[in-house]
Amino acid sequence: MQRRQFITSASATVAAASIAGCSGILGGGGGGNSGPDGPVKAYASAVSNNNADELQSLAHPDANESTGELSDSDLEGISMNVKSTEVLEQSDGQATVEAEIETTVTMMGEEQSQTQTIEFDVRKHDGEWLIYDSETVSTGGN
């Protein structure tokens, strides 16, 4: 996934949920991401806290595209819960983290949830783990 797609995935999936009749969707940062799974957990926290700036800070600067525009209000009604993470591979400054993430969207009083398994490509930048890319491996409903 390109950097812009990473940043806008939460808001784009709200639109997809709306089109699909409010069905389920996909999916703090900065310092403190001590391990490769740190930015993955921070990603979910930033979405749940409607914090677009925090979300943007988790994207690696060398990812493929610019971040685009995303505001805190684009994230309203979305919460993410990281159910599990596993570091599948790790080498010097790069890792693959698999995460099972439950995303819940509340729209017009209706709450819909979906669980996805996502592989995140995380890379170090200035000593900090950041998300470079991601790919959905599997999707299940709740």
Chain segment 46-74, per-residue pLDDT in tens = 999 999 899 889 989 988 654 456 788 88
**Report field, pTM of the whole predicted structure over 0.85:** no
Cα(137)–Cα(92) distance, rounded to whole angstroms?
24
% of residues, the chain, pLDDT over 90: 51
Q: Is 28 helix (H, G, I), strand (E, B) or coil?
A: coil
C-beta separation of 6 from 131 below 8 A: yes
**C-alpha–C-alpha distance, residues 117 and 122, integer Å:** 16
Fold that domain 3-141 belongs to in CATH: Nuclear Transport Factor 2; Chain: A, (3.10.450)
11: left (phi over 0), alpha (psi -120 to 50) or beta: alpha
End-to-end CA distance of the chain: 25
Q: Which of 92, 87, 101 is nearest to 36 (CA)?
A: 87
Give the residue extent of every domain in the chain.
3-141
The predicted structure's pLDDT at residue 5: 42
Which neighbouring-strand residues pair with 84?
100
- Average pLDDT of the chain is 77
- Whole-angstrom Cα distance, residue 3 to residue 90? 21
Sheet containing 78-91, strands listed edge to edge, beginning at the edge strand earlier in sequence: 78-91, 94-107, 110-125, 128-141
DSSP letter, residue 39: H
